[in-house]
Amino acid sequence: MDEHSRPIVIQKYGGSSVATIEKLEAIADRVVRRQKDGYGVVVVVSAMGNKTDELLRLARQITPEPPARELDMLLSTGERTTMALLSIAIQKRGAQSISFTGSQSGIITTDSHSHARIISVRPYRIQDELERNKIVIVAGFQGTSYKNEITTLGRGGSDMTAIALAGALSAESCEIYSDVDGVYTADPKVVLDAQKLDELSSAEMIEMAQHGAKVLHDEAVLYAHRHQIALYAKKSHAEKSSGTLIRPDGWPDYALKAAQIHPTAIVTAKKTMFVRMNDTNTADFLDILEHCDGARVMDMVASNGGIDALLDIWNCPDEDALKARIDPAHAGCIRCDVRNVTAVGLDIGRCTDIIRKMNQAVSELGVGVIALFTQPNAVTFVVTLDDVAAVSNVLHAFITQ
Ligand code: ADP
Ligand code: ASP
Ligand code: MG
């Protein structure tokens, strides 16, 4: 076959898929098979297992607020270790491969350390090596700024690397492999009878990911939506995984036409902070957030009495630094032991009857709801960590009844 006409596939393997050498070798087998099927294969890898957390802990043993530049230098080594090991495993199988860092792959980013955005992708070296029939392994989660500094793309950012390369290389498909068989109606590790969705729209997935369903990275899905790229979420170590197709389109027709609401899923973010500020104006509060790298507003209400906000802090390198910046004189409450349990679905937040029924189901559990936020396509209950599983299960039972 003419090498130039081979379709390109991007496969991304997350931390749990490459956690051990045995798992990595199994991935090498699968990648080589895919190339033999006639594809140009680009593999994006994450750091092995919980390596990123381990590296973060090491830096924090030295100081609670490590300098952002050095932290990026440190964290980027996690993915580099995996890329080299996978390339070694592939070459042991007699196939040709080469590993590249984000910078060598031409991933150019802003200079915001720990949560850089991709500005452009210049994958010339990857294209050259694909033409030489090599399998290309790319270290996910990292790039280089225009100042030639190593940057990282925020937690879970290897998905972003994969989708950006899929766009730049006009790949036929972009497959994101993890330890679950696709996208479910709730986290299958929390809600045991969650159902796998065979496909869903990127509009639904964006709403889910922005409320914390990190099975796919929110910005990666947004990018896929904007660039009209189909994404697949699949299970890595499975003989066959039908997975979930995320179509690059808007809310599905059935949801728009139906008189009744069709909730999509129940989701929870990995790390959140709930803040209640008394006598604080919005501008002052936003100023605090602007100086806290990586903290994002998931929900916020500002009124004369003050501000209630739920922040997604998974990307915040230091939550204690964020707490310290919030003026204790005005803080009615700052809690990191809380999470959102969010029901996602088109128009769900505009249907008082559904909100009333969900609220009733949660109160019958005897759970104290710290806050309730509504957005047009999402209803969020803020509860303590201990209550997340019970609330997720009861809301899931309600949306799938
Ligand atoms: P990786 O490390 O491979 O990137 P992630 O941990 O980011 O994998 O994503 C996979 C995890 O996402 C699963 O282990 C699962 O517990 C969790 N998850 C949360 N919500 C969902 C959902 N709605 N569907 C599937 N998985 C989910
Ligand atoms: N290793 C990084 C993280 O743990 C990036 C990724 O896995 O996508 O967040
Ligand atoms: Mg992930």
- The domain of 337 spans 265-399
The stretch 10-26 carries a mean pLDDT of 97
Domain assignment present for residue 328? The answer is yes
Would you say the CB of residue 294 lies under 6 angstroms from ligand 2?
Answer: no
Q: What is the pLDDT of residue 316?
A: 82
Q: Which residues contact 168 (CB under 8 A, 6 or more apart)?
A: 106, 121, 122, 123
In ligand 1, the atom with minimum distance to the C-alpha of 236 is 3
Q: List the helix and strand counts (H, then E) for the chain.
A: 12, 20
In ligand 1, the atom with minimum distance to the C-alpha of 196 is 24
Mutate to test the pocket of ligand 2, among 56, 138, 155 (most ligand atoms within 8 A of CB): 155
Rounded to whole angstroms, what are the CA distances from 257 to 64, 225, 252, 346, 366? 52, 22, 9, 11, 36
CA distance 319 to 316: 6
Domain assignment present for residue 190? The answer is no
Domain assignment present for residue 124? The answer is yes
Environment class of residue 339 by beta-carbon count within 10 Å: exposed (0-12), middle (13-18) or buried (19+)? buried
27 and 161 assigned to the same domain: yes
CB 135 within 8 A of CB 90: yes
Would you say the CB of residue 158 lies under 6 angstroms from ligand 2?
Answer: yes
Would you say the CB of residue 187 lies under 6 angstroms from ligand 1?
Answer: yes
Tell me the pLDDT band of 75, cut-offs 50, 70 and 90.
very high
Domain assignment present for residue 259? The answer is no
Q: What is the pLDDT of residue 394?
A: 97
Residue 389 has pLDDT above 90, yes or no: yes
- Predicted confidence (pLDDT) per residue in 177-194, tens digit: 999 999 999 999 999 999
Domain ends where: 159, 179, 199? Answer: 179
Q: How many structural domains comprise the chain?
A: 2
Q: What is the pLDDT of residue 141?
A: 98
Q: Which ligand is nearest to the CA of 44?
A: 2
Give the closest residue (by CA) to ligand 1 atom 6.
215
Say what the pTM is: 0.93
Would you say the CB of residue 15 lies under 6 angstroms from ligand 2?
Answer: yes
The DSSP string of 151-215 is: EE--TTTHHHHHHHHHHHTT-SEEEEEESSSS-BSS-TTTSTT--B-SEEEHHHHHHHHHTT-TT
Task: Characterise 52 by phi-psi region: left (phi > 0), alpha (psi -120 to 50), beta (else).
Answer: alpha
Q: Quick one: CA torsion of 151, 220, 342, 357, rounded to 10 degrees?
A: 170
CATH number at residue 337: 3.30.2130.10
Would you say the CB of residue 15 lies under 6 angstroms from ligand 1?
Answer: yes
CATH number at residue 158: 3.40.1160.10
158 and 302 assigned to the same domain: no
Domain assignment present for residue 18? The answer is yes
Domain assignment present for residue 71? The answer is yes
Phi first, then psi, for residue 297 (nearest 5°) are: -75, 125
Domain assignment present for residue 184? The answer is no
**Who has greater pLDDT, 286 or 14?**
14
Q: What is the pLDDT of residue 284?
A: 82
Ligand 2 centroid to 129 CA: how many Å?
25
In ligand 1, the atom with minimum distance to the C-alpha of 184 is 24
